[in-house]
Amino acid sequence: MSEDRTRVSAIEDGRFRLLIDAVIDYAIYMIDPDGIITSWNAGARRFKGYEEAEILGQHFSRFYTDEDRRAGLPQRALDTAIVEGRFEGEGWRVRKDGTRFWSHVVIDPILDPSGTLLGFAKITRDLTERKMAEEILKQSEQQFRLLVQSVTDYAIYMLSPDGRVSNWNPGAQRIKGYLPEEVIGRHFSMFYTPEDREAQEPQRTLDIAVREGRFENRGWRMRKDGTRFLAHVIVDPIWGDTGTLLGFAKITRDITEATQAQQALEQTREALFQAQKMQAIGQLSGGIAHDFNNLLTVILGNLEIVRKRVTDNPKVTRLIDNATQGALRGVSLTQRMLAFARRQELKSEPVQIPALVEGISGLLRSSLGPSVKIETQFPADLEPVMADLNQLELAVLNLATNARDAMPDGGTINFGARNHEVTDSVSSSLVPGHYVCLSIADTGEGMDEATLGSAMDPFFTTKGVGKGTGLGLSMVHGFIEQLGGRFILKSQKDQGTTAELWLPVATNGSVVQALVREQSVAVPRLCVLVVDDDGLVLTSTSLLLEDLGHRVISAPSGARALELFESEPEIDLVITDMAMPQMSGAQLANAIRGMRPGVPIILATGYAERLEGFAAQLPRLSKPYTQLNLVEVIAQAMK
């Protein structure tokens, strides 16, 4: 009986193996608990390309991709089958020839009656064709979804061969304002401007699309309400299988806002470039003016001393006076350069605009001539501004002179002003606060756009050679910017020019800081420590001081000055240059104050510098300076 059962079981096992081996649509094979392949059917041979002799005894992970093996997916599949009683999933597998196929996998654990794991039964099906079909369908759905999502941003519609609208999408309705029933059946030329219709632009569009296979352009189109928008248009012809023209596909996009945004971006870039250019030129101008001031200090100082030595020779005296006048012209030029660079010394005080203009009215009339009429319009409640009186007068005279030159046949210059509160710094480019706008408007020739764009550039001038430095407007620009305001030019060709000076209003606590000048001050003989890294300036200053009767000790650097100051207890006064390498004048002043707080210190500088703390309170000696300037500042420091 037992033998019969064994024979029957063997027969059934054989039939089962034959059945398994006959299945060619599934790879059915066994693996032991360690993942080693122990059986192989015909379906596995067809899917994966391995003969039974090649694969038995190999680990089943060889069918996985390299990335899946590195991620541990084969072992994870077996672990899942053990824990959950079954593993099922899909993924890419690798054939013997290295090609990949998309498979559906089922793994079941095989347990004996006692629950011991004997191995796994693994069934794999090749679903590559289904996967590819799903991918194609998915791609098609994504493309369709993108089209649907963007349909409101585009007018997409069809035209008949003669140009009549045959359908209408929501984007077309949104952009052009027409409902489908209002436009279907009508000729698409209704969207063109009258001038484009007159020029036969609609028909030309269709002709180009037929001849070249596509038409693409941008132009102005009309909405239902009569407003215009800038459109980007594409027209493609649609051909039948026999080559018959079936119509046209037309796509229109409203690019008005995008074009305006691009134009605004370009304008912003141009403004940034202009600001960077002006800043670079300002730094260059300030540096040149600083060095030039040192040279002028030497020239003027030495001319003063020489003039005292040759008073008995009129011809030599005349030459010295001419040289001095030339040097003073250089001083004026450096002041303009420093004004443009916003590094000049300013003595700000409350200024009444009407009083300022009235104060220079006589000079204005004599400078402008009888052919120029002057008008003023100032409100009674105009607030005072914070400005350097002398520099503001110079700026007004400069602008008035430019206005006169723009009116060769005469005309009118109008001086006006108004109070204004700035609340939005983005739109106005001014810090929020209270301002007075002083305007100087003429009825002259005006400027075209290119000239206006360059008018405030340093050394730019429309006057003849030798008739201007080209620093006038740039000086005004730098001066106003240094005050915390803005200089704005408005002009059109043959429409005159208006110059606006936006000046901050003086606060209630503002006070006038006037320089006290004493023409005859008795100053005792002093021991003066002079510090400057420029040897010529150091020598010239020392000679001027010695000519005044002072004893001078000179130092070419801050470090050397400290050594001399410590070894010379008789030093009564220190005059130091501000801009020096390694140790600035302000740093030297702080060091001296720590050593002997009572010694007066004067800072000499070629341009305005922002100082803080103790150094900000020290007397300033502006380069280039004369012997009289030295007398005045020493008298101020020794009080």
Its CATH architecture, for the domain 150-254, is: 2-Layer Sandwich (3.30)
Mean pLDDT of 137-144: 67
How many helices (H) and strands (E) would you count in the chain? 22, 20
Token look-up 């219709």 returns 197
- Closest by CA to 400, choosing from 359, 435, 434, 369, is 369
Domain regions of the chain by residue span: 2-127, 150-254, 266-330, 348-504, 527-637
Edge-first strand listing for the sheet containing 433-442 = 372-377, 411-422, 433-442, 497-504, 486-491
Element (H, E) at 47: helix 42-48
- Closest by CA to 192, choosing from 204, 206, 184, 202, is 202
Percent of the chain at pLDDT > 90 equals 23
Distance of CA 106 to the CA centre of its chain: 60
Residue 216 scores a pLDDT above 50: yes
As a 3-state breakdown, the chain gives helix, strand, coil percent values, each rounded to 5, of: 45, 25, 30
Indicate the range of 58-62, 483-487, 538-542, 546-550 predicted with least confidence: 483-487
pLDDT of amino acid 186: 94
Per-residue confidence at 514, pLDDT binned at 50, 70, 90?
A: very low
- Closest by CA to 579, choosing from 289, 221, 330, is 289
Exposed/middle/buried for residue 474 (C-beta within 10 Å: 0-12, 13-18, 19+): buried
pLDDT tens sequence across 596-628: 888 899 988 765 555 656 667 788 887 777 788
The token duo for 565 is 């100051």
Contact call for residues 619 and 602 (beta carbons, < 8 A): yes
Residue 517 scores a pLDDT above 50: no
Distance of CA 122 to the CA centre of its chain: 64
Pick the CATH number of 348-504 from 3.40.1260.10, 3.30.70.360, 3.30.565.10, 3.40.50.970: 3.30.565.10
Its CATH architecture, for the domain 527-637, is: 3-Layer(aba) Sandwich (3.40)
**Are 2-127 and 348-504 the same fold in CATH?**
no
Distance of CA 224 to the CA centre of its chain: 40
pLDDT of amino acid 367: 74
Per-residue confidence at 343, pLDDT binned at 50, 70, 90?
A: very low
CATH topology of domain 2-127: Beta-Lactamase (3.30.450)
In whole angstroms, give the CA distance from residue 576 to residue 581.
13
The token duo for 457 is 């550039």
pLDDT tens sequence across 439-497: 989 988 888 877 776 666 544 455 543 444 444 576 677 667 777 788 888 888 888 88
Q: How many CB atoms lie within 10 A of CB 223?
A: 14
pLDDT tens sequence across 294-320: 667 777 777 777 777 776 767 677 777
In whole angstroms, give the CA distance from residue 542 to residue 551.
9
In whole angstroms, give the CA distance from residue 487 to residue 484.
10
